[in-house]
């Protein structure tokens, strides 16, 4: 390591790192304090350079599903690095770990998977999905069928197209997004969106009707795909209302619109099923995975291409030539080795089933502790994803003044008590997504710390 002898780690960071999602002036001026220097982690806990230990109730950014410090994965990474640190996958080259991983993903992914294309992040995988939609419809002789519909409050990344798919305006502001041709439809959040007395089923039908109207307004011959997370994540950790996916898929089928399931958070057990699509009866044409694929140990994402799309691509190959899309690091062998080691753990320790059973306990405890609190509007979640939403008035659902930053204050109070629970970027929401290896007693500790932090702020 090349160290600058005269500067501390915090000083080097402050003077040279451009941090994502950080108020730049507050950070530069020191108002936010020093950066937290995370130095190690084991199981569900991390610690920092000051010697503080935290329960990571958010698994990093919903990714460290197998927990920190798993030596099996570190060893698999090292073995591959010693053997062959890099080779590319262009023009029919491969590595052993990559072929094994791909075979595994095709066998386990939802829908009718045919092939796997690799990237490094959820954002670039969704960018690939958009290109696949355009390519597929060009090859079918439908060059107008290119628009992609996502949902308000959906999160799909922050590159040009994936950032446009993301349905929260603060991700677009001052960045010239959304890109033309990316549209948004209503978010499926019953608590906020339903009319008084409207059932979940009726609300789902209304959202599907709105989607249909949007497709008809644009012209079905111009709409190529619909992208959505099975459980809406960063936009609020919101499981779909009853009947939602059945109604939505009926509309998509009617107008020959592809379904892209963004499984970046839900994939590999988070919801208590292997995929969110499995849990909600979705039959996607394209599936995006990242995060849990390697549990964050190294960057890796995948766009899993279903038969419907892939068959058209192969069929057209004599006419259009090579599939001209790929990255230097598509299918990096070290990332593939890490993914295989992670998926071995997910299978051996039955982490999906575990997320389902411990998840039931988690959802119950969250409701028991929070549902009656005066400032809590809704407690929701599925598996090991959970959220508590704060409101100023439970009767009228009046929101808190955003200046009060209630969500951020509860999150800060939790952190001071040794728990990381995320203040979600949209609304006053405290979010939870602990590693899937969390135990029942650790769940009790997480809920208890969050409860005491909330009481402190109330
Ligand atoms: N899709 C979903 C559902 C996500 O939650 C995220 C990130 O949180 C992304 C895509 C983007 O992934 P990345 O941050 O790896 O680009």
User: Are residue 158 and residue 303 in the same domain, yes or no?
Assistant: yes
pLDDT over 80 (residue 95): yes
Q: Render 386-448 in DSSP notation, one character per residue.
A: EEEEE-SBTTTTBPPPGGG-HHHHHHHHHHHTTEE-EE-SSSSEEEE---TT--HHHHHHHHH
pLDDT over 70 (residue 257): yes
ipTM of the predicted structure? 1.00
User: Are residue 216 and residue 99 in the same domain, yes or no?
Assistant: yes
Last residue of a domain, one of 348, 363, 384: 348
User: Are residue 420 and residue 445 in the same domain, yes or no?
Assistant: yes
User: Are residue 105 and residue 226 in the same domain, yes or no?
Assistant: yes
3-class secondary-structure state, position 379 = strand
Mean pLDDT confidence for 183-191? 98
DSSP 49: T
Closest residue by CA, ligand 1 atom 10: 156
Q: Where are the alpha helices (DSSP H) in 22-159?
A: 24-29, 59-62, 71-83, 96-108, 122-139
- Determine the structural domain holding residue 127 and report its residue range: 72-348
Distance from the CA of 156 to the center of ligand 1, in angstroms?
Answer: 5
Q: Residue 5's pLDDT band (boundaries 50, 70, 90)?
A: confident
User: Are residue 280 and residue 205 in the same domain, yes or no?
Assistant: yes
Q: Residue 3's pLDDT band (boundaries 50, 70, 90)?
A: low
Q: What is the pLDDT of residue 35?
A: 96
Distance from the CA of 429 to the center of ligand 1, in angstroms?
Answer: 18
At 192, which CATH number?
Answer: 3.40.640.10
Alpha-carbon distance 150 to 160, whole Å? 14
Q: What is the pLDDT of residue 242?
A: 98
Give the ligand 1 atom nearest the CA of 157.
11
Mean pLDDT confidence for 181-195? 98
**Phi, psi torsion values for 455, nearest 5 degrees:** -60, -35
* Structural domains counted in the chain: 2
User: Are residue 128 and residue 246 in the same domain, yes or no?
Assistant: yes
Token pair for residue 102?
């791909």
Closest residue by CA, ligand 1 atom 1: 156
Distance from the CA of 233 to the center of ligand 1, in angstroms?
Answer: 9
Q: What is the pLDDT of residue 4?
A: 73
Predicted confidence (pLDDT) per residue in 312-344, tens digit: 999 999 999 999 999 999 999 999 999 999 999
pLDDT over 70 (residue 47): yes
Determine, yes or no, domain membership for 24. no
pLDDT over 70 (residue 1): no
Determine, yes or no, domain membership for 11. no
Q: Residue 285's pLDDT band (boundaries 50, 70, 90)?
A: very high
Distance from the CA of 52 to the center of ligand 1, in angstroms?
Answer: 28
3-class secondary-structure state, position 359 = helix
Exposure letters 298-329 (e unless 16+ CB within 10 A, then b): bbbbbbbbbeebbeebeebeeeeeeeeebbeb
User: Are residue 303 and residue 371 in the same domain, yes or no?
Assistant: no
Determine, yes or no, domain membership for 202. yes
At 387, which CATH number?
Answer: 3.90.1150.10
User: Are residue 139 and residue 287 in the same domain, yes or no?
Assistant: yes
Mutational test site, ligand 1, from 157, 237, 271, 327, max ligand atoms within 8 Å of CB: 157
Alpha-carbon distance 368 to 176, whole Å? 44
Predicted confidence (pLDDT) per residue in 361-379, tens digit: 999 999 999 999 999 999 9
- Do the Cβ atoms of 435 and 43 come closer than 8 Å? yes
Q: Residue 2's pLDDT band (boundaries 50, 70, 90)?
A: low
Predicted confidence (pLDDT) per residue in 55-80, tens digit: 999 999 999 999 999 999 999 999 99
Give the ligand 1 atom nearest the CA of 126.
10
User: Are residue 249 and residue 359 in the same domain, yes or no?
Assistant: no
Average pLDDT, the chain: 97
User: Are residue 372 and residue 407 in the same domain, yes or no?
Assistant: yes
Distance from the CA of 4 to the center of ligand 1, in angstroms?
Answer: 34
Predicted confidence (pLDDT) per residue in 109-135, tens digit: 999 999 999 999 999 999 999 999 999
Q: Residue 424's pLDDT band (boundaries 50, 70, 90)?
A: very high
């Amino acid at each position: 390591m090349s160290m600058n002898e005269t500067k501390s780690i915090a000083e080097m960071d402050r003077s040279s790192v451009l941090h994502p999602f950080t108020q730049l002036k507050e950070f530069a001026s020191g108002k936010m304090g020093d950066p937290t220097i995370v130095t190690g982690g084991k199981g569900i806990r991390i610690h920092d350079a000051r010697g503080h230990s935290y329960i990571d109730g958010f698994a990093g950014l919903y990714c460290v599903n197998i927990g920190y410090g798993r030596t099996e994965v570190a060893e698999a990474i090292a073995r591959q690095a010693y053997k062959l640190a890099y080779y590319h996958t262009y023009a029919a080259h491969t590595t052993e770990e990559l072929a094994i991983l791909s075979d595994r993903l095709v066998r386990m992914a939802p829908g009718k998977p045919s092939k796997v294309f690799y990237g490094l992040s959820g954002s670039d995988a969704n960018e690939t999905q958009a290109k696949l939609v355009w390519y597929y419809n060009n090859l079918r002789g439908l060059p107008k069928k290119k628009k992609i519909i996502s949902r308000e409050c959906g999160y799909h990344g922050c590159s040009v197209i994936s950032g446009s798919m993301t349905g929260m305006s603060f991700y677009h502001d001052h960045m010239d997004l959304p890109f033309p041709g990316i549209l948004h439809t209503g978010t499926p959040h019953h608590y906020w969106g339903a009319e008084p007395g409207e059932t979940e089923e009726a609300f789902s039908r209304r959202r599907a009707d709105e989607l249909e109207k949007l497709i008809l307004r644009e012209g079905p011959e111009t709409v190529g795909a619909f992208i959505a997370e099975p459980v809406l994540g960063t936009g609020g950790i919101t499981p779909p209302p009853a009947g939602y996916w059945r109604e939505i898929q009926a509309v998509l089928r009617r107008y020959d619109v592809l379904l892209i399931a963004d499984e970046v958070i839900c994939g590999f057990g988070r919801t208590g099923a292997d995929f969110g699509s499995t849990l909600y009866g979705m039959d996607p044409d394209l599936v995006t995975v990242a995060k849990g694929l390697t549990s964050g140990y190294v960057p890796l994402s995948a766009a899993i291409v279903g038969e419907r799309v892939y068959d058209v691509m192969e069929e057209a190959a004599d006419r259009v030539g090579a599939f001209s899309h790929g990255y230097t690091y598509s299918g990096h062998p070290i990332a593939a080795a890490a993914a295989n080691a992670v998926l071995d753990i997910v299978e051996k320790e039955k982490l999906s089933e575990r997320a389902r059973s411990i998840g039931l306990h988690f959802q119950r405890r969250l409701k028991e502790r929070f549902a009656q609190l005066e400032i809590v509007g809704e407690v929701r979640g599925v598996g090991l994803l959970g959220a508590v939403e704060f409101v100023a008035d439970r009767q009228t659902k009046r929101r808190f003044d955003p200046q009060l930053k209630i969500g951020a204050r509860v999150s800060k109070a939790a952190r001071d008590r040794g728990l990381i629970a995320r203040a979600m970027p949209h609304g006053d929401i405290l979010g939870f997504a602990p590693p899937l290896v969390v135990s029942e007693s650790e769940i009790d500790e997480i809920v208890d710390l969050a409860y005491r932090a909330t009481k402190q702020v109330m």
